[in-house]
Amino acid sequence: MNGSKMEVRDGLYYSEEHEWARIEDNIAVIGITDYAQKELKNVVFVELPKVGDKLTVQKDLGYVESTKAVNAVLSPVSGEVIEVNSKLEESPELVNTDPYGEGWMVKVKMSNKSELSELFNGREYSELMDHLVK
């Protein structure tokens, strides 16, 4: 991995499949991690669910298409989609340039907050990444 350091932010929850969730009360803002966007390379299209769609933990929430491949994005939590990042329709590259900011994908009203205990914190995810990129 050409020695480039993966950005992992504290205060987020991470899945083993490289999605992240930022929790604001009962709302999870979800996107893919810096590692995932680097693996995908140039994101050219993002397919997201619609507002009102119900998501199930570990099931597809959408797809990210790059010049290399199409990858499913799995939801780190269950719940109802209350907002999608419409900027990604016009500018899918935001997933690459700002994965933890402007490149967020959906906001989900969580139906089972206890699912968060299945996710990694920043330190745990960093340790997982250390093993992965060796």
Domain contains 5 = no
- The total domain count for the chain is 1
- pLDDT at 1 (0 to 100): 36
CATH number of 123's domain: 2.40.50.100
Mean pLDDT of 66-80: 95
Angstrom CA distances, 118 to 13, 15, 41, 49, stand at 9, 8, 28, 23
Quote the CA–CA distance of 26 and 3 in Å, as a whole number.
37
- Report the amino acid identity of residue 48: L
Q: Which domain holds residue 119?
A: 13-132
Alpha-carbon distance 46 to 58, whole Å? 18
Q: Quick: pLDDT tens for 41-52.
A: 999 999 999 999
Does 57 reside within a domain?
A: yes
pLDDT > 70 in the chain, percent: 96
Does the global pTM surpass 0.85? yes
Residue 4 lies in a domain: no
Residue 58 has pLDDT above 60, yes or no: yes
60-66, strands of its sheet edge to edge: 43-47, 60-66, 70-74
Return the number of other C-beta atoms located less than 10 Å from residue 95's C-beta: 26
4 has a pLDDT exceeding 70? no
**Polymer length in residues for the chain:** 134
Work out the average pLDDT over 92-121. 97
46 in a domain, yes or no? yes
> Other C-beta atoms within 10 Å of 128: how many?
16
Could you tell me if residue 2 is inside a domain?
Answer: no
